[in-house]
Structure 1
Amino acid sequence: MRRGEIWWADLPPPTGHRPVVLISRDEAYIYREFVTVAPVSRRFRGIRAEVSLGQEDGLPTSCAANLDSLTTVPKSSLQRHIASLDTEKLQAVDSAIRFALGLET
């Protein structure tokens, strides 16, 4: 497991089974039981706290990672690796996180 990977995950209701983007730093996947993820949704609102994803990212349809909805889940909820984001897309995720958390200067 590495930051920027997309995995199928079983999230608590009402979210359920869906793709997530791994957000925690790489070391967390070695030592931590719980990790931070961003859920992926087919609903795209076009806001700065979202990053559009699609077939070029290993997903079957157009969708978005929602960085307003960061959540911490047990590693055991991560079921299957789908793909890994490229550097440019991961930088977009970083920017969306800064916006979502009000960390922009």
Structure 2
Amino acid sequence: MDRARRSRVVRGLRRCGGRRATLNRGDVYDVDFPSGRRPAVIVTRDRAIPMVANVTVASVTRTVRGLPTEVTLGREHGLEHESVVNCDNLATLPKDALRTRRGLLDPQSLDRLRQALRIALELD
């Protein structure tokens, strides 16, 4: 989905952590995981997000293993250090576990995320 389309997604706005927010696939958020707060990328499809209470996220880590299920991210995505989205480490959490929005994936990174998810979930 192009950036203009993403910015027009306004149907079904929900409260997120006490604030009104539009969530989109590819958004990078600080997330309250059971083990603590860390960045993650929303991987739930855009059309489902307004309809569900929970979203699925892929964790972000600075540990790069060179796996085909990793997508490289950096400052342009709202992160302080070069990191990777680890599509082998998915979690489904309540929307109110999403805290601060850091940034979003560009179209090329979203394409790489889709491919990494296909590999991680053996959908090909």
Cα separation, 1, equivalents of 2:70 and 2:77: 15
TM-score, L = length of structure 2: 0.79
Partner of 1:9: 31
Larger Rg: 2
CA deviations on 1:39-95 (whole Å, 9 max, x unpaired) are 001111110011111112221101110000111011010001110111000000000
Cα separation, 1, equivalents of 2:62 and 2:87: 14
In the alignment, which of 67, 85, 96 is matched to residue 87 of structure 2? 67
CA deviations on 1:9-65 (whole Å, 9 max, x unpaired) are 10112xx21011000011332121111000001111110011111112221101110
SS at match of 2:93: strand
Q: Structure 1: which 5+ residue stretches go unaligned?
A: none
Aligned residues: 102
Amino acid at match of 2:32: D
Q: Structure 2: which 5+ residue stretches go unaligned?
A: 1-22
Q: Which aligned runs of 4 or more in structure 1 are off by greater than 6 angstroms?
A: none
Question: Could you say what the CA RMSD is over the residues aligned between the two structures, in angstroms?
Answer: 0.9
Percent identity of the aligned residues? 40
TM-score, L = length of structure 1: 0.93
Partner of 2:72: 52
Partner of 1:39: 59
